[in-house]
Structure 1
Amino acid sequence: MIQSVDRAVRILTALQGARRMGLGELAAQLELAPSTVHGIVRTLLDHGMIAQERDSGRYRLGPATLRLGNVYLDTLELRSRSVPWAEDLAARTGMAVRTAVLLAGPGGDVIVVAHEPRPGGGRQMNEVGIVVPAHACALGKALLAFDPAGEPAFDTAGEPLRSMTGETITDPARLRTELAAIRRVGLATEAEEAVLGEYGLAAPVADHSGTIAGAIGLVVPQTEWPVGPGATDALRAAARSISRELGAPSWPPVVRDRPAASA
């Protein structure tokens, strides 16, 4: 790992979470000397990755991060392949549809890369870019169940996972039991585990290598939970069709052996 790059990424991640931070706050969070952080901050400022507010002197993410995000979305084949199927799935079920991928690194989060609003639902927020703890949502559980590389994020040495609501699964052992059940049926569920009043159903999407590429899921209103077989079948068909377009040899994805830790 290149130390300076790691520190720069940690600064960007800190600003993502806190929105605005002063130099001293950044230094304290990264456990580094302010002079060290200042040098990296100046470089990020020069490249537009962060910006400094004139009145407070605090730092926030800069416009260049949006440009990188847009390029990522434009070049993500999962997103482009899922859009027409998500539109059809929303029309068939009357529900909003999200497509997500697992974020690399610590934390065990997923990020929404495509969002199809529920039909006739009036004005709705675009949810692209929303980050949710993987263990607290159906999309994340579908990803974790079929991606062994994501499971180490939950090796918490007995510590409970982050709680979002009173229904969030915070016991790693209980989560692993649920992931095993998801692998058997190919579908994951959530019931008010990330947001009160929100339920979800999600299915994994495979790519040409036969492994996990992402997940697609329904956002289910409380009044329509549990979903009927029509919505379940439509979700399975969408996930299978997107996987086929990505070149997957089979669906659900094949679960590879968890990579061994390096010595």
Structure 2
Amino acid sequence: MIQSVNRAIKILDFVSTNHMARLVDISRGLGLNKSTVHGIVATLEEMGCLRQDQSTGRYELGLKLFELGQSVMANMDIRAVAMPYLLELSRKYEETVHLAVLSGDEVIYIDKVDSPRSIRIFSMIGGRNPAYCTGVGKILLAGLTDEKLSRVLEGIRFRAITPNTITDANSFVEHIRNIRRDGYATDNGEIEEGLSCFAAPIRNHLGSVTAAISLSGPTQRLINDNSAKLIEDVVDCAQTVSIQLGFAPALAGDNSFFLK
């Protein structure tokens, strides 16, 4: 380990837990020579990792660290983070689990775990489907602001893929309101008769809905007396992934799909 790098990290850790620390505080707290601390602190300040209050001479963390933290969060591979939880959910119910993102008015499946059963849903990683008639699509649309949702809906040509597909824009908007209230979405044979799914939102560190998880399978296996527990597990799975991505549930408003 390079000693100067080690000391620099220790100084940053110390300042993060001892807000507005003086040079003498850092020196004493870490047991380092004051001149050594001064040299490292000056370098960290020049790089934007520390900032000195000119009126008091005390130090706090700089904006460069915030920028680096934002970059880490933005580049975190959601698939790698989510996969262990997708596997766990799929194994518990022996159904297909999808991870999807929104692209315009469509959803793209970026990862999945197949059901081991002979009768199961067919899908492909990289495949697309209309957002308005899929569980993941509806949950992702529900995560948009009203303004963004309106723009997307303007470009959707609603058509009846099955007898259960919602084809009226006003009815669909009301459906989205219910999804926001409930915190999950259901597809009950809306894109393929006899197949259903439950979906829940994945949030990033800022609280924005960036992806969705769904559990899909034959309607007779999903829509039954066990549905409430299944929905609970899908929502818990999505929230666990969200927390791994830096989301803090305490930031969310009570019974609201949007953050306050």
- Shorter-normalised TM-score: what interval? 0.5 to 0.7
Give 1:64's aligned residue: none
Return the alpha-carbon distance in structure 2 between the equivalents of residues 111 and 193 of structure 1. Answer: 17
Give 2:233's aligned residue: 234
Give 1:197's aligned residue: 194
Give 1:145's aligned residue: 142
Listed as ranges, the gaps of 5+ residues in structure 1 are: 1-74, 258-263
Q: Residue deviations 1:6-49, cap 9 Å, x none? A: xxxxxxxxxxxxxxxxxxxxxxxxxxxxxxxxxxxxxxxxxxxx
CA contact (8 A) 2:99 2:214 kept: yes
- The count of aligned residue pairs is 178
| Structure 1 residue 126 displacement after superposition | 5.7
Give 1:92's aligned residue: 92
How big is the alpha-carbon RMSD for the aligned residues of Structure 1 and Structure 2? 2.5
Return the alpha-carbon distance in structure 2 between the equivalents of residues 255 and 87 of structure 1. Answer: 28
CA contact (8 A) 1:201 1:220 kept: no
Moved more, 232-241 or 142-151: 142-151
Return the alpha-carbon distance in structure 2 between the equivalents of residues 253 and 101 of structure 1. Answer: 21
Return the alpha-carbon distance in structure 2 between the equivalents of residues 98 and 127 of structure 1. Answer: 10
Q: Which has the larger radius of gyration?
A: 2
Q: Aligned letter for 2:232?
A: D
Query: Quick one: structure 1 residues 247 and 160, their matched pair in 2 at CA, closer, same or farther if it must change by over 3 Å?
Result: same
Q: Residue deviations 1:52-103, cap 9 Å, x none? A: xxxxxxxxxxxxxxxxxxxxxxx77222211110000011122110110000
Return the alpha-carbon distance in structure 2 between the equivalents of residues 253 and 206 of structure 1. Answer: 14
| Structure 1 residue 124 displacement after superposition | 7.9
Give 1:103's aligned residue: 103
Q: Aligned letter for 2:116?
A: P
The counterpart of 2:113, out of the listed 108, 111, 116, is 116
Return the alpha-carbon distance in structure 1 between the equivalents of residues 218 and 210 of structure 2. Answer: 26
Partner SS, residue 190 of structure 1: strand
Give 2:213's aligned residue: 216
State TM-score, norm by structure 2: 0.62
Structure 1 residue 244 corresponds to structure 2 residue 247: no
Partner SS, residue 81 of structure 1: helix
Return the alpha-carbon distance in structure 2 between the equivalents of residues 124 and 95 of structure 1. Answer: 8
Q: Aligned letter for 1:164?
A: I
The counterpart of 1:171, out of the listed 160, 168, 171, is 168
Partner SS, residue 224 of structure 1: helix
Query: Quick one: structure 1 residues 248 and 137, their matched pair in 2 at CA, closer, same or farther if it must change by over 3 Å?
Result: same
| Structure 1 residue 191 displacement after superposition | 1.2
Query: Quick one: structure 1 residues 254 and 77, their matched pair in 2 at CA, closer, same or farther if it must change by over 3 Å?
Result: farther
Q: Share of identical aligned residues, percent?
A: 26
| Structure 1 residue 222 displacement after superposition | 2.0
Return the alpha-carbon distance in structure 1 between the equivalents of residues 207 and 223 of structure 2. Answer: 30
Return the alpha-carbon distance in structure 2 between the equivalents of residues 124 and 136 of structure 1. Answer: 15
Return the alpha-carbon distance in structure 2 between the equivalents of residues 195 and 126 of structure 1. Answer: 12
| Structure 1 residue 254 displacement after superposition | 5.4
| Structure 1 residue 176 displacement after superposition | 0.6
Return the alpha-carbon distance in structure 1 between the equivalents of residues 157 and 103 of structure 2. Answer: 20
CA contact (8 A) 2:203 2:242 kept: yes
